[in-house]
Amino acid sequence: MFEEIGTTAEGDLQINVGPQHPATHGVLHLVITLNGETIKKVEPHLGYIHRSIEKMCESLTYRQFSYVTSRMDYLSSHINNNACALVVEKGLQVEVPERAKVIRVLVDELTRIASHELWWGAMAMDLGAFTPFFHAFRERESINDIMEETCGARLTMNYIVPGGLMQDIHPNFQKRVKHFLQLYKSKVDEYNEMVTGNIIFQNRMKGVGILSKEDAISYGCTGPAARGSGVNCDVRKLYPYEVYDKIQFDEITETGCDSFARYMVRIREMNESVKIIEQLIDNIPEGDFQAKTKAVLKLPKGEFYQRVETARGELGVYIVSEGGTTPYRIKFRSPGFSNLSALDHMARGSKLGDLVAMMGTLDLVIPDIDR
């Protein structure tokens, strides 16, 4: 997995980690300078899965471009699509029906739980515990079954569209979501028993990958990576969208500034998402699931921006419109890119064996970085 590529200063060694390394969870390539087992520098080399998504979006209509974003952070597809729909609706000044808003939040929060479930199983596996991966997928598959019945897809969803939803929810939706909530609550104690409270796991995580609050802000970190350092940055609280301003939930922050703090943020966030779903699942308004919009959408000339809170942090969508049917310019501010920039700072002076724990708690999805 580690390939020697040359030496630098006397006594130093440069090695490659990736782009085909299981702990990078994708084609991330790190060039690491070592002195013995101590990390002196981590240099990410990106672009292995770059598909020019932003340029592609400029040739797609305002109804089409959101589908491409499902292939960026593919574990937050619904939330990515939601950001795209919101920015188009902002430009068109379209009022989305309440029913669509509530359903959007429900699928967004189910997506957040599903993403954190995969992260939790992979995080434990990266540190040598294989069993939690199967436990995590037990709950995650229950969510994927709901998504498949609702919109026909299990990973790259295309359900949220400008004006509302592609179609109404399945008649079984509420029943199956409630069943998932019961399943999750009955199993969540296993997470603490197997991983969170495990002394070996804690020793691998506590005091590892220190990122102070000031440094998290300086590097532009968002999401759990920043909230583990005590940064208040939850877009759902700071810049509420959909119905988040009408829901009772807490912004989860930890002040440990280490890998274990970032781990705990995600564990507690899953419980908050369950709380949000419980408040909405029996209160889905009746009415339309889609606002009346024209078949061909044209945004007025100008600049439009929308941010949302994905499972990994703040996703921003910036559109420059010339008044046509396609964006003149489009730019995505993805959370993974900024979060990865802090890895070198976190890793310097640490041991090579701790690098996996640091990368795991950043929860990197490489297509989200490369775009």
Q: What is the pLDDT of residues 292-327, one digit of tens each?
A: 888 888 899 999 999 999 999 999 999 999 988 899
pLDDT of 158 = 85
What is the separation of C-alpha 343 from the centre of its chain, rounded to a whole number of angstroms?
Answer: 17
**Among 4-18, 58-72, 190-204, 214-228, the range of highest mean pLDDT:** 214-228
pLDDT of 8 = 62
pTM: 0.90
pLDDT of 2 = 46
Q: Are 274 and 139 in contact (CB under 8 A)?
A: no
Mean pLDDT of 187-211: 87
d(CA 184, CA 136): 10
pLDDT tops 70 at residue 5: no
pLDDT tens track for 258-285: 999 999 999 999 999 999 999 999 889 9
CA distances from 37 to 34, 41, 275, 311 (A): 6, 12, 44, 33
CATH classification code of 51-370:
1.10.645.10
pLDDT tens track for 116-158: 999 998 888 888 888 888 888 888 999 999 999 988 888 888 8
pLDDT tens track for 324-362: 889 999 999 999 889 999 999 999 988 888 888 888 888
Helices 259-280 & 173-191 angle (0-180, nearest 10): 150
Q: Are 40 and 12 in contact (CB under 8 A)?
A: yes
Residue 265's nearest CA partner among 127, 362, 137 is: 362
d(CA 154, CA 270): 19
* Tokens 């589908």 sit on residue: 67
DSSP characters over 276-327:
HHHHHTT-PPPS-SB----SS--PPSEEEEEEEE-SSSEEEEEEEE-SSSS-
DSSP 200: H
pLDDT tens track for 40-60: 999 999 888 888 888 998 899
Neighbours of 94 (CB within 10 A): 16
Share of the chain above pLDDT 90, in %: 39
Q: Mean pLDDT across the chain, nearest whole number?
A: 88
pLDDT tops 60 at residue 6: no
Q: Where are the domains of the chain?
A: 1-48, 51-370
pLDDT tens track for 54-82: 899 889 998 888 888 888 888 888 999 99
Q: What is the 3-state secondary structure (H, E, C) of 257-280?
A: CCHHHHHHHHHHHHHHHHHHHHHH
Q: Are 2 and 17 in contact (CB under 8 A)?
A: yes
Residue 254's nearest CA partner among 282, 276, 225 is: 225
pLDDT of 1 = 44
